[in-house]
Structure 1
Amino acid sequence: MSPPRLSFAGFRAVPPAQGGRAGRGWWDANAAEYLDEHGEFLGPADFCWCPEGLREDDAHLLGDVVGRDVLEVGAGAGQCSRWLGAHGARAVATDVSAGMLRAGRELDRAAGVRVPAVQADARALPFADASFDVVFTAFGAIPFVPDAARVHAEAARVLRPGGRWVFAVTHPIRWAFPDDPSARGLTVTRSYFDRTPYVEADDAGQVAYAEYHRTLGDHVADVVGAGLVLDSLVEPPWPAGHDRTWGGWGPVRGAKVPGTAIFTAHRP
């Protein structure tokens, strides 16, 4: 599948159903290109939380995973789940995109580690209540749906009591700045409180991509609304010597503005 030709790219309101289903087609069409660009940085079986390069090996945000049932939602090609499987967890990867899951099977072969993978919408997980000790996502699912509260509710549902929910998203403050990693991107151009989604539409006017902004307060409200307890908010600094740019992320802006927010919570 080839990426569609775009007739519009910018901020505008879209019907929730259109925005919510756009992610599957976009990731199917762009899986190979995405992995060509970022695959080496992510590694076939490594656990990278964010463009700052924070690894779970150092952060330990999921806690001790040995012998634990761990679910990754919005897993992409399953790199994080593959790392977890190699570190003693019983990991399952889910993603809405068949294209990303196909790429994951190639990485299974390359890494010599097979991770069970299921095509599923994070808003309707095909698992029984209280099935997992840990649920997490690293930039998956939440930014690409208009009703992220459903993702949190599903995470809470499939968690066992005491289980941990961890999710990484673009830091909400970044939405106030243009998507430019240079010094030009250091000037605020949009209201932090403007929640109009970023949208790309094809020549037929159909939504090909949609990404949704939520403030810090919105994320907290979604966590609490799902009956979870918020434990911490991690804002990884841009590390010295890390010169890679990734979209709007890079060392120039990273030295001054946080790029990632990682929330940890648990089911009481």
Structure 2
Amino acid sequence: MADAGNPLCRPATEEELSRPLSVVDQAGWLGGSIAGKRVLCLAAGGGRQSSLYAAAGAEVTVVDLSGAMLELDRQVAAQRGYRMRVLQTTMEDLSGLSNAEFDIVIHPVSTCYVPSVAPVFAEIARVTRPGGLYISQHKQPISLQAGYQRSADGYPIRHAYYRDAPVPPPAVMSPSASRLREQGAVEFLHRWEDLIGGLCRSGFVIEDLIEPLHAKANAVANSFADRATYIPPYVRIKARRIGDAAAERPAIVIA
């Protein structure tokens, strides 16, 4: 994808970098300024995410499994004079990062590539400071269950909800499938109890949840926008790291 210049692997444009927060934070979850904040862009190599958060004044660390993707981040940092740290590792192993190191963790769609989100959330909880934000986007379970060819009744459910095995790839890469499933990728369905419950069990509280709108009226049948009118493809979650309640409770002074 990096070698082919996939849109996900392209740095932000000059126009986007002139207004980075309006690009990355349309919901206003980041509070208006992240200058000086320690931000982890997790599984987010490719030069885009890191450059936008660096342009907004954050101290950026970017983690990705792909060295080719991280090279794009290095190139953007060198070209624009951004200071950023890069780390090549899996999202389940952040041992190269310190406890409570980050104010904000940004995590684009990628949890579908791991069999279990539990170790991912545990590592994110470890590196996020109490009170810090974890903003993540995931593939909706039903989007991975459903087919990509519309019938008279809509898009049929093809795969079981309760499953441990990867979701089979589409038999035909229709317009909607090609935007939702990367060719050759192995993907896993994570149920809502894995996503929402898993975040809560890992030490986060959910503050907001949105389903990014990709539906369009009168979209061509079997297109990405048409399928999105029936099945929301993604969910975006704002979660806040809670600390140790006993440690945060004010001391009681007895005169």
Q: Once the 2 structures are TM-superposed, how far is the Cα of residue 114 of structure 1 from its aligned partner?
A: 5.5
Contact kept in structure 1, 2:159 and 2:167, CA below 8 Å: no
Report what 1:87 is aligned to.
56
Cα distance in 2 between the residues matched to 1:123 and 1:256: 32
Q: TM-score, normalised by structure 2?
A: 0.73
Residues 90-115 of structure 1: CA distance to partner in whole angstroms, max 9, x if unpaired?
11111111121123334445666454
Cα distance in 2 between the residues matched to 1:188 and 1:96: 31
Report what 2:112 is aligned to.
143
Letter aligned with residue 236 of structure 2: I
Q: Once the 2 structures are TM-superposed, how far is the Cα of residue 58 of structure 1 from its aligned partner?
A: 1.7
Contact kept in structure 1, 2:204 and 2:239, CA below 8 Å: yes
Report what 1:96 is aligned to.
65
Report what 2:2 is aligned to.
31
Report what 2:230 is aligned to.
256
Change (3 A) 1:165 1:38: closer
Change (3 A) 1:251 1:89: same
Change (3 A) 1:124 1:93: same
Cα distance in 2 between the residues matched to 1:113 and 1:128: 22
Q: 2:45 aligns with which of 71, 76, 101?
A: 76
Report what 2:104 is aligned to.
134
Change (3 A) 1:214 1:159: same
Structure 1 gaps, min length 5: 1-29, 48-53, 201-207
Q: TM-score, normalised by structure 1?
A: 0.70
Report what 2:26 is aligned to.
58
Change (3 A) 1:239 1:66: farther
Contact kept in structure 2, 1:237 and 1:258, CA below 8 Å: yes
Q: 1:265 aligns with which of 232, 239, 251?
A: 239
Residues 156-206 of structure 1: CA distance to partner in whole angstroms, max 9, x if unpaired?
11111100111101111102212x3x6357222223334431368xxxxxx
Q: Any idea what SS the aligned residue of 1:197 has?
A: coil
Contact kept in structure 1, 2:211 and 2:235, CA below 8 Å: yes
Q: 1:236 aligns with which of 212, 220, 223?
A: 212
Q: Once the 2 structures are TM-superposed, how far is the Cα of residue 257 of structure 1 from its aligned partner?
A: 1.7
Change (3 A) 1:249 1:226: farther
Change (3 A) 1:198 1:72: same
Matched residue pairs, number?
A: 219
Cα distance in 2 between the residues matched to 1:233 and 1:139: 15
Q: Does 1:169 align with 2:138?
A: yes
Q: Any idea what SS the aligned residue of 1:81 has?
A: helix
Point out which structure has higher relative CO (alpha carbons under 8 A, 6+ apart). 1
Contact kept in structure 1, 2:203 and 2:241, CA below 8 Å: yes
Q: Once the 2 structures are TM-superposed, how far is the Cα of residue 230 of structure 1 from its aligned partner?
A: 1.7
Contact kept in structure 2, 1:67 and 1:90, CA below 8 Å: yes
Structure 2 gaps, min length 5: 170-183, 243-255
Q: 1:150-189 maps to which residues of 2 (within 5 A)?
A: 150-178=119-147, 180=148, 183=150, 186-189=155-158
**Percent of aligned positions that are identical:** 26
Cα distance in 1 between the residues matched to 2:133 and 2:223: 28
Cα distance in 2 between the residues matched to 1:174 and 1:249: 14
Q: Does 1:218 align with 2:194?
A: yes
RMSD: 3.2
Contact kept in structure 1, 2:102 and 2:132, CA below 8 Å: yes
Cα distance in 2 between the residues matched to 1:249 and 1:110: 37
Change (3 A) 1:237 1:209: closer
Letter aligned with residue 41 of structure 2: E
